[in-house]
Each structure stands twice: as C-alpha cells, then as structure tokens.
Homo-oligomer: A and B are copies of this chain.
C-alpha cells in the first residue's frame, strides 16, 4: 500500500489524500461502511459500487467465528467470497472480543474468550490476528490492541497502553510486508500524556498507517476532539490516519479538520434499518405518523435511488408493514448521504473551501437544532430517543455504545 498526500488545507489542516492498495485506489478522507459479516447489511456489492464506495470494513471477529478465515481462504479470500473486488480493511477482532464475547480474559499472551454464538473457546494473540487477516486477504489490517473502557482509571489505562504497545511490536514482527498494510492503534483514553506516549511509541515501531482507538466510547465530544487535536500532530504526516468507530456527520467534519483521513461506523446502515434517515434538514424517523401522507421524498436535496422514486409515505408504509424493501431503501439513502458528504468534503479541501463548507454545514446544523431541539432527532414524534449526550447515558448499554456495534452490525 502507498498513501499519497495530495494536499493539506492551509486553513484547517484537513488532508486530501489517496490510498493505493492491491485492490484499487481510495480517495481520502473516506468513510468506510461496515460489512461486518462479509456483507454491508441490506446492500449488494453492485449497490455499493453504485454509491461510489471504494473501501469497506469487515470484522475479523465475526468472520473468524463464522464461516471461519480458513474456509474463506480456501474459497479464494474475502474479496472473492463476498464478490467485492475493491479494497477491504479488517479490524483485529479485539474490539468485538471485548464487547461481544463471553468470559474474556486478557493476558500478556493475548485474549481468551468464548464465542457469543455457541460458547466455544478461542484464543487470539497478536500473531493469530495477523494470521487471520492475512488469510482473509484484506488490503489493510489492524494490530491487536486493548480498547480501554470509558471511564477508566489512569493507572488502568497506563498499564493497558503498555500491553497494547507490546502487542503492536509482536504484530509488526509477525507481519513485515507492506501488503497488506498493517496499521498500529494509538490508545490512551482521555489522558494526554498516555496518548502522547502511545502515539510516540507506536510511531517508533513503524506502521503503514495509524489509527486512533478508544474514542467514541462514551467520552464527551469535547474530549474526543481534544484527543484528536493533541494526538494527530504526533503522527507522521505522510501516513494515513484512521479514527475508529466515529459516525455522526458533524463529528466527521471536525475530525477531518483535525487531520483524520479514514472513518468507519455502523451509523448509516444501522440507522437505516431502524428507520432513522439522514437529510440535509437533519435526521427524521420514518416510522412517525406525520409521514403517513407525505408525498415528498425523504430529502428534497438528495438524488439517491430512494429519493428519486419513493415518497416518505411509501417508505413509512414499508417500515410499518415490516417489508424488506424498506430496510434496503433506507440503508441505500443513508449510505448515499455519507458518500455525498465525504465527496463534498474532498472537493472542498481541493478547492480550499473546506473551512467554509464545514462552517456552513455546522451552522445549518445549529439552525436546525434551534428549530428542533436536536439535529439528530428532528422528528419528535418518532420512537427513537435523542442521542445520549453524556458518557454515563451511553454507558448504560453494555458498557459503551460501541459495544453494540459488533453484534448488530
């Protein structure tokens, strides 16, 4: 893999780049849809291509358990298995072990756990996750790390980053090739000195790219931005930077401005399946009775297949009647929103108008928030609650919001 840094926005620090991988080129900043079990839920590869998707994320934990990396390798690798001839990034599987598996136990050697599917016992070491990802044939693979929960005590996180560093060295030793590209992961919670040490030491080991992990797990937005702002400058300019698991559109813009190149999140796909749709006027919940007679499309400014052909009334009907097409059309629309947003971001960076673009987007957001109390939930009649603002509320759900991710997506 080779990362080409095309431009740095003089006004913000946003970066325009290009990843060259064995399966094709990826324009950055890029948002990766999640193809957890070897499929981006409810969409075919053809539809993903139609939306201009260039890179997807798949979850090693899920594929390792079912159908198994060895079977996928026998069948010609993950690209062929899922008929996705374009670039794939896989995570290390560690995150899902912490969030999904039963009876997990972390030791110096690695992490043992029982499958959430059948209770079978497994052990993942740094070397093993490299082997699995190599077998899958991913274009970008991730080192095994420990993602500390939030909140976590300073001493816990301090010990944790040292383990993650030792694992990172073992991953690097187990995988010396540049293809697939191996990314290291910076941890350290919300503690600036631990982030600094983690970043410095991870860079010292040397990877083809660097991820920020342990964010979007319950900390406040301010804390997220502070960690990005302080950590990103410690990473080599010429390597891609990947912020794991961040999803809200406004957060993506902030992170791009802080120099992040790559994102993944289940937000567009999962929200699609729950009927929560992104629009230029905020998010709406298609289940709401107020849409029962609405002739207009989800978003008048959107030119996706869903918005070009179907009314809000029809989409609500599909959702209420439990029709599969509703999930498909909703997912397609949400993914289109993300793809379109990232394309606008890239163009704005090229044109050196990213600061204005971002300000305009956020201003619209604020405007909508004033009107609607919450941009993320303009539809007060819907069943979906507002997005939790504090870490505490987020933590209610099995320890962190991200934890649900692996299971549903």
| CB atoms of B44 and A323 under 8 A apart | no
Judged by a CB distance under 8 angstroms, whether A83 is at the interface is: yes
Considering only CB atoms, which chain B residue lies closest to A40 in the complex? B325
Contacts of A45 in B (CB 8 A): 309
Q: List 8 A-B contacts (CB under 8 A).
A: A39-B318, A39-B323, A41-B325, A44-B329, A46-B305, A75-B293, A75-B295, A81-B317
Select which of B76, B309, B310, B317 is within 8 A of A67 by beta carbon: B317
Query: A229 at interface (Cβ–Cβ under 8 A)?
Result: no
List B contacts of A42 (CB < 8 A).
Answer: 324-325, 328
Distance A323 CA – B318 CA, assembled complex (angstroms)? 19
Chain B residues with CB under 8 A of A74? 293
CB-nearest residue of chain B to A294 = B75
Q: Say whether A43 faces chain B, with CB atoms less than 8 Å apart.
A: yes
Across-interface contacts of A311 in B (CB, < 8 A)? 75, 81
A314-B37 contact, Cβ under 8 Å, with A46-B305, A74-B293, A324-B328: no
Complex Cα distance, B88 from A381, in Å, reads 34
- Nearest chain B CB to A240's CB is how many angstroms away? 29
For the complex, give the distance between the alpha carbons of A57 and B71 in Å: 42
Report the minimal beta-carbon distance from A380 to chain B, rounded to whole angstroms: 22
For residue A317, which residues in chain B have a CB less than 8 angstroms away from its CB? 37-38, 66-67, 81
Enumerate A14-70 residues with CB–CB distance to B below 8 Å: 37-39, 41-46, 62, 66-67
For A324, give its contact among B62, B81, B324 (CB under 8 Å): B324
Partner of A44, one of B75, B81, B321, B325: B325
Query: Does chain B have a CB within 8 A of A292?
Result: yes
Q: A75, B313: Cβ atoms under 8 Å?
A: yes
Instruction: Confirm or deny: A320 has a beta carbon within 8 angstroms of a beta carbon on chain B.
Output: yes
**Per-position 1/0 for A66-90, Cβ under 8 A of B:** 1100010011100001110000000
A292 to B75, CA, bound (A): 10
Interface size on A, residues (CB 8 A): 38
Whether A186 sits at the interface, judged by CB under 8 Å, is: no
The answer to the question of A253 belonging to the interface, with a C-beta cut-off of 8 Å to chain B, is no
Residue A327 at the chain B interface, CB threshold 8 Å: yes
Q: How far is the CA of A62 from the CA of B320 in the complex (A)?
A: 13
Please encode chain A, from 375 to 387, with 1 for each CB lying within 8 Å of some chain B CB and 0 for all others.
0000000000000
Say yes or no: A323 contacts B67, CB within 8 Å: no
CA distance A116 to B274 in the complex (A): 24
A41: nearest residue on chain B (CB-CB)?
A: B324
Q: How far is the CA of A82 from the CA of B325 in the complex (A)?
A: 11
Q: Which B residues are CB-close (under 8 A) to A313?
A: 67, 71, 75, 81
Residues on B with beta carbons closer than 8 Å to the beta carbon of A38: 314, 317-318
Q: Which of B37, B293, B328 contacts A71 (CB 8 A)?
A: B293
For A328, list chain B residues within 8 Å (CB).
Answer: 42, 44, 324, 328
B81 touches A41 (CB 8 A): no
**Known contacts A44-B328, A81-B314, A305-B46; A323/B292 CB under 8 A:** no
| A328 → B minimal CB distance (Å) | 7
CB nearest neighbor in B for A84: B309
- Whether the Cβ atoms of A323 and B37 lie closer than 8 Å is yes
Contact with B along A297-330 (1 / 0, CB 8 A): 0000000010001110110011011011101110
Question: Within 8 Å CB of A67, what residues of B?
Answer: 292, 313, 317, 320
Known: A81-B313, A82-B314, A83-B309. A327 touches B324 (CB 8 A): yes
Chain B hits for A320, CB < 8 A? 66-67
